[in-house]
């Protein structure tokens, strides 16, 4: 499970204008440990796109599995150009969760979301920017200052207008999020009991290709 670090800027902001910076770190692309019943639940409100304050996601490495969901739950996600995004749970016989089926599709469309989810292909940050998955990509050298500048601009903006704008955009684009939160845990629990999941975990541990049942 990726670590989420949050900081508020400025130290004493006006109500409703605190910004949280979400930063997934220390990902392992395909760890089966990132999958399982302990993740089959709705994310808490602190990681929910419906939180009223603008949320900035700062990704400075791989975002994999539920890490993709966490970063896309932010309102403006930026990344280093060396970062990539990976929805890889099919490699162990599971499905995307954490709201990913709604968040990824809402960001880049059905066809690209299907490709990421079914084929478990990495999406480099540059391509993620072009596809619309993230708001911007920066070199490692300019990343920290770019994130600080972005959070400062949002913090200094009109708090009420930001909240109304955020809610309006999310209401228009994330209409299936609640359904995804309900559907994904049910599917995941079913898949955890399948031979394909057992085979996927075994193959990962033995560092060999998985021999799944044919679709």
3-class state of residue 206 by DSSP:
helix
Q: How is residue 213 annotated by DSSP?
A: P
CA distances 179 to 19, 176, 184, Å, are: 27, 5, 8
Question: Model pTM?
Answer: 0.78
Mean pLDDT of the chain: 83
* Element containing residue 64 per DSSP (H, E): strand 63-64
Grade residue 133 by pLDDT with cuts at 50, 70 and 90. Answer: very high
What percentage of the chain reaches a pLDDT higher than 70?
Answer: 76
Grade residue 53 by pLDDT with cuts at 50, 70 and 90. Answer: confident
Measured CA to CA, the distance from residue 187 to residue 183 in angstroms comes to: 6
The answer to whether residues 20 and 56 touch, using CB atoms and an 8 Å cutoff, is: yes
Q: Which residues pair with 64 in a beta bridge?
A: 86
Question: Which CATH code for domain 20-139+173-206?
Answer: 3.90.226.10
């Amino acid at each position: 499970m990726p670590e989420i670090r949050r900081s508020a800027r400025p130290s004493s902001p006006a109500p409703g204008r605190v910004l949280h910076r979400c930063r997934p770190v220390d990902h392992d692309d395909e760890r089966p440990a990132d999958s399982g019943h302990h993740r089959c639940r709705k994310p808490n409100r602190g990681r929910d796109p419906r939180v009223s304050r603008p949320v900035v996601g700062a990704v400075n490495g791989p975002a994999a599995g539920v890490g993709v969901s966490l970063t896309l739950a932010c309102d403006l996600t930026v990344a280093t150009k060396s970062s990539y995004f990976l929805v890889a749970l099919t490699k162990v016989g599971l499905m995307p969760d954490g709201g990913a089926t709604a968040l990824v599709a809402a960001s880049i469309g059905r066809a690209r979301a299907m490709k990421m989810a079914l084929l478990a292909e990495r999406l480099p940050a540059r391509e993620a920017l072009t596809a619309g998955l993230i708001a911007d990509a920066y070199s490692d050298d300019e990343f920290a200052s770019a994130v600080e500048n972005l959070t400062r601009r949002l913090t200094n903006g009109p708090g009420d207008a930001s909240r109304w704008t955020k809610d309006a955009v999310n209401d228009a684009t994330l209409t299936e999020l609640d359904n995804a939160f309900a559907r994904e845990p049910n599917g995941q629990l079913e898949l955890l009991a399948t031979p394909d999941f057992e085979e996927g975990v075994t193959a990962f541990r033995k560092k060999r290709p998985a021999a799944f049942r044919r679709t």
